[in-house]
Amino acid sequence: MGLVLSEYEHSILEGKKGEAARLAMEVIVALGNAFGARELVKVASVQAMAHYGSLHDAGVDWLERLASLGGRCCVPCTQDPSSIPFHCWSDLGIPPEYADKQMRLAKAVVALGEIPSWTCTPYYVGNVPRFGQNVAWAESSAVSFANSVLGARTERVPAGLAVCAALTGRIPRTGLYLDENRAGSILVKVEAGPLSGIDYPALGYILGTKAGTRIPVLDGISADVTNDDLKNLGAAAATSGSVALYHVPGVTPEALTGDPFHGGRPSVELSVTRRDIEATKQTLTTGCLSDVDLVVLGCPHYSIWELQRTALLLAGRKVRLGRRIWIHTSAEAEQVAARMGLLEILREAGATVLAQNCLVISPLCIKGVRTIATDSGKAAGYLPCEHRVRLVFTSTEECIASVTE
């Protein structure tokens, strides 16, 4: 049996809601048929991508075409980070022709009625789905957070497709939109003692390599774990593997009290020890702390709490000559940080806050940088190949100490 559309969905396909929505629905239906979906699901919000580093010229053409056809989002749609920091791209060596392509994307995004949030942590800036709500989110770290921490439901929506969901309010009902696909399938016993901030992305990295696309259930995580820790764990697990949902009994909503295996049994049981976590930190580290030229923090984008922590660590210190600290965050967190006096402390110390942007998806000029230090498992996974640098994966404290006096 093929995909069955409702009357409303048919009307979109017939062009009754405009040509852009018709085109978008055509894509959604083709995808639904390719994946064997029986129906479409209504989505409450979209997290889309319009960074030129991922969409390239084809993406610019696609979004501009939809905008020129009069496309308008029918559900709230936030945006992943931009490939340029909008206010200071020229200071950072980004070629004007590259910036121009990103600006065209930004213009199209606004014309389409998307919310130009430019952050990978939309759940910290107002795009907060409720438990059980269906959404269509691109950005693997945000997908992990939505599914696991918020208990919303989303597949890993491809970058160019998310806008189709925003214009139609629909996505094929496949994968994680279905109850039966949300059960845990492997049990991971965390036997590493108390976990510090940097242990969570390290654990996430291990999780991704072991779980691949399966759904891990983590036993042994303290109920005190913070949302930021879970954010950093999920981002790393979606980098080394394709983990889009994990459960933590007593912590994450689908495993608060119920059985995360839905009555089944885990196909695999494994344990992660302190030694595994330390070994992962070493594997991701290819450079020396004493050689660090640039510290990159905020992948995924730092929350206001993480910004505050970093400001406290930097208070009274100075970035050494020839060294840099870049902190990526949302514009909203940056504004709150300014109101709290934190931006002043960060700038006084010599750190640079690059809001709405990130190094992984940017051609920011890092000429002369040979070694980067980061506290992010995701950045540790991507930066060495994206920017051909050596890497040190370590705690925020050590990152900061390595380039300050």
> Applying CB under 6 A, which residues contact ligand F3S?
80-81, 120, 141, 235, 299-301, 328, 358, 360-361, 378
Give the ranges where 69-168 is alpha helix by DSSP (H).
96-111, 140-144, 159-168
Q: Which two three-digit tokens encode residue 369?
A: 């940088």
Instruction: Please state the closest distance from residue 378 (CB atom) to ligand F3S, in A.
Output: 5
Instruction: Please state the closest distance from residue 2 (CB atom) to ligand F3S, in A.
Output: 36
Nearer of residues 185 and 394 to ligand F3S, judged by Cβ: 394
Instruction: Please state the closest distance from residue 98 (CB atom) to ligand F3S, in A.
Output: 17
Instruction: Please state the closest distance from residue 299 (CB atom) to ligand F3S, in A.
Output: 3
CB 394 within 8 A of CB 373: yes
Instruction: Please state the closest distance from residue 298 (CB atom) to ligand F3S, in A.
Output: 6
CB 140 within 8 A of CB 47: no
| Spatial distance between the Cα atoms of 71 and 133, rounded to a whole number of angstroms | 24
Instruction: Give Cα separations from 99 to 8, 25, 85, 95, 329 (angstroms).
Output: 39, 31, 9, 6, 20
**Burial grade of 211 (CB within 10 A; 0-12, 13-18, 19 or more):** buried
Instruction: Please state the closest distance from residue 139 (CB atom) to ligand F3S, in A.
Output: 6
Nearer of residues 21 and 138 to ligand F3S, judged by Cβ: 138
Nearer of residues 59 and 71 to ligand F3S, judged by Cβ: 59
Parallel, antiparallel, or unpaired for β 46-48 and 136-137? parallel
Nearer of residues 173 and 231 to ligand F3S, judged by Cβ: 231
Nearer of residues 248 and 358 to ligand F3S, judged by Cβ: 358
Three-state SS string across 356-397, please? CECCCCCCCCCCCCCEEEECCHHHHHHHHHHHCCEEEECCHH
Nearer of residues 9 and 334 to ligand F3S, judged by Cβ: 334
